[in-house]
Structure 1
Amino acid sequence: MVADPAAHAASYRGRVIRMVEGQHRIATNRLADDAAGQALLEALADDVKPMLPEAARRLPWLLAAPFRYGLGRPSRFRGGDVLPGIFYAAEDVATAVAETAYWRLVAFARSPGFQRPRTPTPMSAFAVQVSTERALDLTQPPFDAPPGRWTHPTDYVATQALGAKARAAGIAALRAPSARRPGGINVAVLDPAALVPPPAPHSSWAFLATADGLIATREMRAEALRFSASGFGIAGT
């Protein structure tokens, strides 16, 4: 572990891509008869949600939401008992799709007897700019050795320790190799202030569950990505 992450901080500016379910559009409109009723439902829901960190309150909810949630669900750079959450994204859409496919298949594997959807699930990719003077690039020295240092498929001890130390040192973002797509690059935004709104639509996808994985198809394009649980090393599916 590097003793002082802040000593290796550098600027990062770039567009990143994140996937969300197509149902990210406001769902309460199906529960209310008019705009006033929907606004009331949204306010009541907000009252029981975890608090947003101060820096995230200026952001559109699509960007702010990842910082609100995650307690009890560990991720690569954050322990399960830690809030705020982390905004995870990727530098290209294929990596964003692969990361999302992995977690969807993990959810299937953790739900014995679950009947997989027979119809495609709509997914949306959106892009947003990240800009900070305090980023760590884990693909560069002194973080890039030994190979595979940050990409173990299930053991997050080293990455979570780095994430905690980076946050304590005021690091805003981590650029890291993807564990799900060889050659792919992920960006973990630790500080909401590094996000530059607004988010912009990127592409629409449909995720279709298969017997041993799923197929991600991009709408209006002859582009399909296939994933299997065994290919990700996921057991129990």
Structure 2
Amino acid sequence: MSLWQQCQGEHQIKPLQGMLLRLVESQEQIATLGYVDTLEEQALLETLLDDTKPNYPAHCQNLHYLLKTPFRYPPLKWGSRFGQVHEPGIFYGGGTLNVTLAEAAYYRLLFWDSMSGTAPKAQIQTAHTMFSVPYQTERGIQLQQPPFDTVAAIITDRSHYQATQQLGKAMRSSGIEAFEYPSARDPNSGICIGLFSALALASKQPADLSAWWCEVSQQGVSFKAANQSQIYHFARSLFTEQDQLPQPATA
């Protein structure tokens, strides 16, 4: 019996609204500026690169690029917690600053571990953008609430996504547009948000845009807002099991 059937998912559908945060890497312009000499060449190069990418879904056309980009691509090669590799992309975000950074820290460590051989530097620094956007739908699900809380250990499994990907498939088939779920990475068990459809976005523009810096090393990940002195640090040990960083979406 699937999680959707076990928890009688069709009976748990409800209106859902809130505000989510999302952190994205500010890499595209930085990466291409090194190959051109003028801003005109930069604009041309960005256009050429954009033409090689998948088309945006029709319901995303009027959205700011930060809001429509997550729907443009399918999940990564291993899928995502609620999405299989052949399914459309899901817009993921965090309900609080801490959970958003914790989730991002885990994936920065995955990036660190993906480098073959010895890392080129003791630390790698990257630039990011944080933004917020409201979500609202009549067809939502709260996976942190009963009866789904009885299967929280499966929903937050750190490396096995098979059951949650099937749950995601069932939610999508049932017309769910947005869902909330407990984070598998945040030590405080914060709430994350997933949007299957851009129709669940309550705004066409992101808000509260801010610049952030990230530093990742073998020991952990640190984040700092460009206009603030506070540093948010996530030790590698927060995410490891038996001294190993769990790999996502293994069978």
Structure 1 vs Structure 2 CA RMSD:
2.4
The secondary structure found in structure 2 opposite 1:50 is: coil
Matches within 5 A, 1:167-186: 167-181=172-186, 182-186=188-192
The secondary structure found in structure 1 opposite 2:205 is: strand
| Residue 229 (structure 1) aligned with residue 233 (structure 2) | no
Q: What is the CA distance between 1:29 and its match in structure 2?
A: 5.8
User: In the comparison of the two structures, how many residue pairs are matched?
Assistant: 235
Distance 1:26 1:133 in 2: 39
Distance 1:127 1:24 in 2: 20
Percent identity, please. Answer: 34
Q: Which ranges of structure 2 fall in alignment gaps of 5 or more residues?
A: 247-251
| Residue 203 (structure 1) aligned with residue 210 (structure 2) | yes
Name whichever of 147-156 and 89-98 sits farther off: 147-156
Distance 1:27 1:129, change over 3 A: farther
Q: What is the CA distance between 1:48 and its match in structure 2?
A: 1.6
| Residue 127 (structure 1) aligned with residue 132 (structure 2) | yes
CA contact (8 A) 1:110 1:236 kept: no
Say which of 186, 191, 197 aligns to 1:191. 197
Please, what TM-score do these two structures have when normalized by structure 2?
0.83
1:3-50 Cα offsets, whole Å, 9 max, x none, are: 363432111111110001233558656636344x54443332232211
Say which of 153, 160, 185 aligns to 2:158. 153
The secondary structure found in structure 1 opposite 2:101 is: helix
Q: Which ranges of structure 1 fall in alignment gaps of 5 or more residues?
A: none
The secondary structure found in structure 2 opposite 1:128 is: strand
Distance 1:92 1:145 in 2: 23
CA contact (8 A) 1:6 1:171 kept: no
Distance 1:59 1:200 in 2: 13
1:143-167 Cα offsets, whole Å, 9 max, x none, are: 1113423101111111111111111
